[in-house]
Structure 1
Amino acid sequence: MIRSPERPLRPPAGRARARRVRRAADVARAAGLAALALACATCAPPAQNGSVVVSSGAAERLGMLCRWGHGDAEQGALCGRGDEGAARPARVRRITGPADALSGPLAAGRPGDHVLENDEIAVVVDQLGPGTGLAEGGGHVIDAADARARRDELGQIVARVGAPARQAIYSELATGVGEDGVAWIEVRGRELAGGALSVTTRYTLGPRDRAIVITTSLQNDGDRPVEALDLGDVVHWGAAEHVAPGDAPGLRSEREAPYLAGIGTGVAYALAPADGATIRARSGAGFSDVTFARQAALPPGGRAAYRRVLAIAPRGDSLAAATELFFLTGGAPGGIALELVDARGAPLPPIAGKATLTPLAEGGAAPAAGALDLWLRTGKGEPLAVEAPPGLYLVGFEGGGRRALGSARIRIRAGEVAPARLALSGAGQLDIQLQERGASPPAEEEDLFIPLTPAKVSLFDVATGKAVSPPRLTLTGELQLSLPPGRFRVVASRGPEYALAEATVDVTDGTRSRLDLTLERVVDTSGYIACDLRQHTAQSADAGVDTTARIVSNAVEGVECAVTSEHNLALAADLRRDIAALRLEAQLRMLPGVELTSGRSGAGIGSLGVFPLGSEAAAPREGALRWVDETAGEILREVRALPGERVVQVSRHHGGGSPLHAPGAPQSAPDQGPGLLAQIVGDGAGADAVEVWTGREAAARDRALEELWALLRASRPVTPTATSDTHGLLGAEAGYPRTYIAVANDDPGRLDVADLVAGLRRRRDVVITNGPFVTMRLGDTRQGGVASARRASRGGPLSLSIRVERAPWVDARELHVLVGGVAAGAPIPLTGARTTPAGALLDEIAIPVVLGGGSRQGTKAHVDRTKVHAGGAGGDRRPGPSAPGTISIAEDTFVVAIVRGRRPLEPVLTGNPDEILPFAMTAPLWIDADGDGRSLGRAAAP
């Protein structure tokens, strides 16, 4: 059980603690670490940017390593001053100006919000009224930081009383400080949408604590039972990467765990139940939906409560988070002092890098079951020492262009510093220079022109095939890298339109090598602009990427147009100045948008993206569309009432779930139409586009496509889109997947936004892909249009022409042609036998099409009676690249071309191979088979 910080934590008492203090001091001196103990309270405060020094705990926490600013090493008692001085009471106050608030990329506190703090940590709870991010009101944790650094990297924590959309709207707020120095904030309100539940949440902080206790209590004020309540929090991690014991950073699944942690660059967070039980968490990009109490049932007048702890560690590493929780459970940490030497045993100065502590099972034969690799970042010039829970560990290190030549096995005991010695390799220097073939300046600027070469560079150890580090991003095409001696595969990329530029290079100790690479654009996407229509920056509570990093991440992946769709913000991020400052205005256009989330349980459809927006609003919520307790239809009416024309896109839920239905909304069978969504799309005033593919969720994409077919069969024309919905960088790359939109001028620097909007709303000529580029036409009608049998009868036989083009590193094996959402025969093999002059692999398929008469059919009749025949005159020949069969269509329908690959998009993307398989799809091509000028809600061109 975690010790409740509602009562001040007391130091270990008696002689045992005194012995630990003396023993720790002796060990520290023997290891040459006495100087690391911060000799006096008047010393300058230590760096809080992820650097590590040995001091890292409250004075009463340990018998050895103590928190910042305490200790007297010269007198031989590291924690003497902390023992004698009484801690100041915790405090609670309102923010009145910038000096009272926290800093950092996610800091959202503003005048009127409340700060709950002591000398160790500071937490901000926002004022009542409009909330931030996905909170539909105030009264939630929005910032949290170490009290000295005061740098926030957390998004927000929103109490959930049921399904994720079910939260409280608080209407009362009170604060206070008890005689024991414990400060608190309490908010009271009711369940959203007028439910029967009254909700109270209390945030508590003691004088010396590095954690707050959050207690949420509920009461059923209605006359009927409230059942099946899963009680918990929705956590938006912001700039912190979320991890759990036994999992790699970046959770994307549902699992049980003793705690969750968010690891930032200079601070770490840990969320755990106060009773020591496990929690169930469903996590996705930037968020975790955490359940502390499952299936709670409240009779009329019944009550329930759940308590959890949010710990805040003063360093940005998972070891810090684990140690904080270890202490809260009553443990006494020990410490490790890491000495780095070269291959000959000569000491090395401190090096910027990453140390790993991997827990071992007793006996040391293998890592413990479910163990979490504990890593920490060390700052150059800082000692490599840190506290850790007792246990047996393997210690490793890599950084500064060096890697450990082996590992060290150590045992950490409570109250003692365990020395570890690692020998590191030498280091060499690799300078990489990239250029793009064909990049040339305008004639009038030739003398001043310095070409940009945005690129992503990945390095792999040839001996192991493993990545040496996360990919490096460059705008100028120049990189200077320190690397350990060895042979490396260097791969430069710039999205799926470009061939890879790669080479193998040898790096030797103490030498400097140069590598020149050339990127070449090979795929012809003329007439289309590559767009990512849903992205997030640090302005969203669940993303931690600043605007500069987001811009660069798009440029290096070849994205030409992106929409910043921050959650429920009126702050329309106009990034034109930022793009101009990076000299990318000719290559990238960023459009401001908003992602609105309907809050009415069971009545909304998830999220609606709206773009482009103006930049009139200067602060969150001011001038924003209403979304609290609004249905999607109500939001749509407000959007359409705005001046000008904009796109409304139905966006899918994070981490799974249909893009076409809200949680709890009834699902429809594919042949029954989509029900709810059909009410708000396809009539000119509703949604224009439906996001059918989000990020790497391939299985969810395939399910969403079945619902899309149902929507189209229901005579609700809509444009399918694909977005990255990226909240981070690695593993959530911008532009994977992307939507190519047909426009009159595909030059990003001259993009006509009105034409782009018209392309999505009316022409509907798009390609969604993470690699291959596929286009389709029937006669002179392209995808997105309506091909009419009346026109076909004047033009002779029709042919469905499909063109599949891809860069050599992108695989494409099968072409699937669907008519009305049903496969028209077997998949057509793709060979890429032809090579374009630019170097792309090309397949061109021509399939004869016969359009027959018959009247336009309703939804169910159309699905049951569509005539689709594949084969030749004998009816038994399967389509193939050289002799595709004939497709006969007797009734109004739609045709879609889908391309699938079998080889993952490595090395440009890494991760689960099933999630990075190539996939591409055209927009539907509507067929007016009876020649009446219409097809499934679409009018044919005159």
Structure 2
Amino acid sequence: MRGTPRFGWLATASLAIFATTVRATDLVTLAPPTWDTYAPTGKEADAISGDFVLRNDRVVAVVARPVRMRNANMTVRDVGGMIIDLARRDSDGGDQLQAFYAASPTHDFQFAGVEVDEPEVFDVERNEIDGTNQPRPSMFVRARAVTLRLLSKPRPDRPLVELRYTLSDDDDAITVQTTWTNDTGRDLTITPTDALRAERTFEKAPDGSSKLFWVADSHFGQAYGVLAEGSAITSKSDARYSYLNYSVDGQAEVTLPPGASASLTRFLFPAADLFGVRAVASSIAGDRLMPASLTVRDSSGAPVAGAEVSLTIDGDRFGLGRTDARGRLSARVPDNGSEYVTEVVAPWGDRTTVVEEVSPGEFEATLPRPGFVVAEISGEDGGPIPCKVQFVGKGGTPTPDFGPDSGEVAVGNLYYSHDGRFRRALAPGSYDVVISHGPEYDAEFTELTVDRGAEARLAATLRRTVDTTGWVSSDFHSHSTPSGDNTSSQLGRVLNLLCEHIEFAPCTEHNRLSTYVPHLRRLGVEHLMATCTGIELTSTPGDVNHQNAFPLVLREHSQDNGAPMLDLDPEMQIERLALWDGYSEKLIQLNHPDLGHVFFDRNGDGEPDQGFRGMFGHMDVIEVHPPHTIFQPAVLERGGRNTNNTIVNWMQLLNQGHRFPGVVNTDAHDNLHGSGWLRNYLKNPTDDPSKIDVMDMVHAAESGHVVMSSGPFLEVLARSNGTEAIPGDDLALSGGSATLSIRVQCPNWFDVDRVQVFLNGRAVEDLNFTRESTPDAFSSEGAVRFDREIPLTLQEDTHVIVATIGEQSRLGAVFGDGGHANDLPVAVSNPIFIDADGDGFQPNGDTLGSPLPTKAN
């Protein structure tokens, strides 16, 4: 039976029909009345209003609205008419799929209709015209089976392509059918190909030809399968994409004479794991698999949740999954006498290949019992405190690997705890443990012995020894999976920021507005970290045309949540960003720039010109990291090529009158020590994150009331005749002299041994203090490592920058064995502008002994 369309939007009350009827298939257009009921969730969910949802009681799929410029995120682009979200409805993991391209997006699809079988409700409206100047279909459809039809727009050099997405009651798979029709009047050759994007933590089927293609992510608990009707699949995968090639009537390339057609049908389906993919595939193909279950216990009989189970048959990976809270994994497996090898790996690392069949189809495996760490980490008030806890095996004990760097609570050998309380299984043995909460707190370094079957208590009090009264720690630039260039959990990013004691962090995903608020609310820690919606608008060239901005208005469920479009012209892009939200006040930051390219060499030919001067009036701050290179030349040699030293170039710019405050940020893309190793301290009226006003952050940054740091807390204050100035301020000199007050604090896990004053960008030898040359200026006890008032006598207008560094120190164990553990602790103030002659500050034009930079070669 085919339903007949009737036009008109169903009343919202009709949703009750969809919500309460279980055994049927729904096709709806996402909109405010349908969003909460139908929009899927998950780490990679990308649906917006106007997309289509196909759903039955088992699976939910989102087909992106077929319009041009429909992008899922920065790198998953042109998804109009493609499947962008797909999940089992009984899956805790939710959507983990970036996209399934069932045909080339360059075919430019449009809505072509809906077909139904045994309809209950059929309401389709396609009268609305929106900004795309195309009919916007709006639907509430319920039936035993539903097909969404899409057609490509006619092109003189391409076949007409029809896409059909079908879902029936009780189906575990979306049926995807592509039909190519040659309406061009000449022979055309087609190559039936799909592309599936699933990244990083997904294991993928080996390249080559097989009946079933699969990807499986055992950590996040999601897998996908593709099975073609009447065709093997030849796959080739790279880090991001898997390309699937099919044959039609036995041909990998099909030549269509004029008027001829060819069709390909395949089945796309989600599952909790690779075992689930195999079960669905066998059901579709009519293969016979036997039900089986494996229960994993430890030697005390306790169930082992989260044990990874891998089944290899005749040397090939058949299944991969994890046990549930009962220690159980259910699957369907062949019963054909093949050679089976089952490996079970405990979350704490123990493993076994010994599996016993206790009754037909029922198997058991026993793992050695783990030990447990029971943590109670407190603040000085005895209450809970966020913290990062790092476990390093010693004396032959392996260092644990809790999960990938894109994870959430347990990442690599780290445990991020939002309240300092947790219980975690660990392999028996000895561990060095580092407990930290950012550089304002002393870290706790301790040892832990874990015995099998026993609980090892991990108790510590984290003490805030560095006094940052009046200053707020911030990171203006970091990312997670909505950015599209990484797969890190956004909840994991928030935990990383929180446990590193970042007190203000705007959410700045690439080309997409987003928010951290739901994660903070879920954890109950909104009072510990202030935030707002922001963006990194990311185009090319990357050394010029990446700009952060915050705060911005989040328009949920719209394309990119209401973000501005990028532009290949940096001047146009930054102007658009500045004018966005009705020319609202916002901070605009130039990200990781080549300042020679930006300011002096627009065309990159190595000859000075006026740069991208149209950008200058819209920029508020400039990223100048890495800060430690302030002690190095203006041009650095790296990897056999010369690069511009950004922070020195910044001081050259200051001398030319380009008065842009400097900032440093992590640009973090993973959650394993990703945030925390760089930060900005901003002057602020309150030290309570719950009371931070975002515009106070904006104004502090615009004013240059910023000290940049990888850890040390540096205070700089200039005084003359009773008037005081902090970084970013102007100070009128009285009597030709001023006093410069410098104070440096460190926690117990790194040190500084040098303080250098720069006058107009030049390191002054008489104002260079080191532990070796001036040992009395430094302390080795307590948080205050340097505290001195320095007289300045100035004959000309001078901007004063102070830097401190631990040349014989490192950030060390708090940041693990690699990565930023070897970074030098360093802090750099923004300049104080001292007017020596009373006519206002005038830059001196000094290029610091090097030519003004051009684009690095």
Q: In structure 2, what is the Cα distance between the partners aligned to 1:636 and 1:197?
A: 38
Secondary structure of residue in 2 paired with 1:610: strand
Report 1:280-679 matches (<5 A): 280-281=238-239, 288=240, 312-316=269-273, 340=296, 348=301, 350-355=303-308, 357=310, 376-384=321-329, 395-399=343-347, 404=350, 407-408=352-353, 423-437=366-380, 439=381, 451-463=383-395, 464=397, 466-467=399-400, 469=402, 470=410, 471-535=414-478, 551-569=494-512, 573=515, 575=517, 584=525, 586-597=527-538, 605-613=544-552, 617=555, 619-621=557-559, 624=562, 626-627=564-565, 629=567, 631-641=569-579, 642=582, 644-651=584-591, 668=604, 672=608, 675-676=611-612, 678-679=613-614
Other-structure match for 1:763? 704
Q: In structure 2, what is the Cα distance between the partners aligned to 1:498 and 1:918?
A: 18
Q: 1:262 to 1:321 in 2, by over 3 A?
A: farther
Q: In structure 2, what is the Cα distance between the partners aligned to 1:846 and 1:144?
A: 63
Residue 374 of structure 1 deviates from its aligned partner by 9.0
Residue 561 of structure 1 deviates from its aligned partner by 1.0
Secondary structure of residue in 1 paired with 2:528: coil
- Of 579-588 and 494-503, the range deviating more from structure 2: 579-588
Q: 1:624 to 1:510 in 2, by over 3 A?
A: closer
Q: Is the Cα–Cα contact under 8 Å of residues 806 and 840 in structure 1 kept in the other structure? A: yes
Other-structure match for 2:96? 154
Q: 1:834 to 1:707 in 2, by over 3 A?
A: closer
Q: In structure 2, what is the Cα distance between the partners aligned to 1:392 and 1:905?
A: 48
Task: Tell me how large the CA RMSD over aligned residues is.
Answer: 6.3
Other-structure match for 2:3? none
Other-structure match for 2:62? 124
Q: 1:423 to 1:640 in 2, by over 3 A?
A: closer
Question: For each residue in 1:536-586, what CA deviation from the matched residue of structure 2 results, as whole angstroms up to 9, or x when unmatched?
Answer: 577766787888766544332211111123454566x483x9757866455
Question: For each residue in 1:856-890, what CA deviation from the matched residue of structure 2 results, as whole angstroms up to 9, or x when unmatched?
Answer: xxxxxxxxxxxxxxxxxxxxxxxxxxxxxxxxxxx
Equivalent of residue 695 in structure 2, options 733, 746, 754: 754
Question: For each residue in 1:893-931, what CA deviation from the matched residue of structure 2 results, as whole angstroms up to 9, or x when unmatched?
Answer: 885736366776454334643676245342442777996
Is 1:913 matched with 2:819?
yes
Q: 1:744 to 1:452 in 2, by over 3 A?
A: same
Equivalent of residue 265 in structure 1, options 217, 220, 228: 220
Q: In structure 1, what is the Cα distance between the partners aligned to 2:312 and 2:233?
A: 24
Question: For each residue in 1:81-134, what CA deviation from the matched residue of structure 2 results, as whole angstroms up to 9, or x when unmatched?
Answer: xxxxxxx99998755835554344554435642346799865312214565533
Q: 1:713 to 1:309 in 2, by over 3 A?
A: farther
Q: Is the Cα–Cα contact under 8 Å of residues 439 and 712 in structure 2 kept in the other structure? A: yes
Q: Is the Cα–Cα contact under 8 Å of residues 786 and 935 in structure 1 kept in the other structure? A: no
Q: In structure 2, what is the Cα distance between the partners aligned to 1:358 and 1:918?
A: 47
Q: 1:235 to 1:383 in 2, by over 3 A?
A: closer
Is 1:133 matched with 2:73?
yes
Q: Is the Cα–Cα contact under 8 Å of residues 342 and 353 in structure 2 kept in the other structure? A: yes
Other-structure match for 2:828? 922
Equivalent of residue 619 in structure 2, options 668, 687, 690: 687
Residue 778 of structure 1 deviates from its aligned partner by 6.9
Q: In structure 2, what is the Cα distance between the partners aligned to 1:559 and 1:648?
A: 20
Give the aligned residue type for 1:127. Answer: R
Secondary structure of residue in 1 paired with 2:507: strand
Give the aligned residue type for 1:154. Answer: Q
Q: In structure 1, what is the Cα distance between the partners aligned to 2:685 and 2:609?
A: 34
Residue 839 of structure 1 deviates from its aligned partner by 3.2
Residue 466 of structure 1 deviates from its aligned partner by 1.0
Identity rate, percent: 19
Secondary structure of residue in 1 paired with 2:749: coil
Secondary structure of residue in 1 paired with 2:696: helix
Q: In structure 2, what is the Cα distance between the partners aligned to 1:276 and 1:142?
A: 22
Q: Is the Cα–Cα contact under 8 Å of residues 852 and 929 in structure 1 kept in the other structure? A: no
Question: For each residue in 1:800-854, what CA deviation from the matched residue of structure 2 results, as whole angstroms up to 9, or x when unmatched?
Answer: x76553322236577787788788789986689988798337256999988676x
Other-structure match for 2:652? 713
Q: 1:111 to 1:410 in 2, by over 3 A?
A: same
Q: In structure 2, what is the Cα distance between the partners aligned to 1:483 and 1:387?
A: 31
Q: 1:89 to 1:747 in 2, by over 3 A?
A: closer
Residue 314 of structure 1 deviates from its aligned partner by 1.0
Q: In structure 1, what is the Cα distance between the partners aligned to 2:643 and 2:175?
A: 41
Q: 1:620 to 1:112 in 2, by over 3 A?
A: closer
Q: 1:384 to 1:169 in 2, by over 3 A?
A: closer
Q: 1:669 to 1:810 in 2, by over 3 A?
A: farther
Q: 1:139 to 1:828 in 2, by over 3 A?
A: farther
Q: 1:820 to 1:267 in 2, by over 3 A?
A: farther
Other-structure match for 1:102? 40
Other-structure match for 1:55? none
Number of equivalent positions: 709
Equivalent of residue 772 in structure 1, options 704, 707, 712: 712
Residue 457 of structure 1 deviates from its aligned partner by 2.6
Residue 325 of structure 1 deviates from its aligned partner by 11
Secondary structure of residue in 1 paired with 2:733: helix
Equivalent of residue 741 in structure 1, options 682, 693, 702: 682
Other-structure match for 2:737? 795
Residue 279 of structure 1 deviates from its aligned partner by 4.8
TM-score of the pair, normalised by structure 2: 0.63
Q: In structure 2, what is the Cα distance between the partners aligned to 1:214 and 1:742?
A: 60
Q: In structure 2, what is the Cα distance between the partners aligned to 1:151 and 1:583?
A: 22
Q: In structure 1, what is the Cα distance between the partners aligned to 2:39 and 2:703?
A: 47
Q: In structure 2, what is the Cα distance between the partners aligned to 1:508 and 1:467?
A: 15
Secondary structure of residue in 2 paired with 1:498: coil
Equivalent of residue 899 in structure 1, options 779, 796, 805: 805
Q: 1:314 to 1:279 in 2, by over 3 A?
A: closer
- Of 494-503 and 746-755, the range deviating more from structure 2: 746-755
Report 1:788-827 matches (<5 A): 791=733, 794-795=736-737, 804-810=744-750
Q: 1:176 to 1:671 in 2, by over 3 A?
A: same
Unaligned runs of 5+ in 1: 1-87, 222-230, 247-257, 282-287, 294-306, 363-370, 412-416, 440-449, 854-890
Q: In structure 1, what is the Cα distance between the partners aligned to 2:674 and 2:821?
A: 13
Give the aligned residue type for 2:547. Answer: L
Q: Is the Cα–Cα contact under 8 Å of residues 686 and 692 in structure 2 kept in the other structure? A: yes
Q: 1:550 to 1:90 in 2, by over 3 A?
A: same
Secondary structure of residue in 2 paired with 1:534: coil
Q: 1:646 to 1:175 in 2, by over 3 A?
A: same
Q: 1:640 to 1:837 in 2, by over 3 A?
A: same
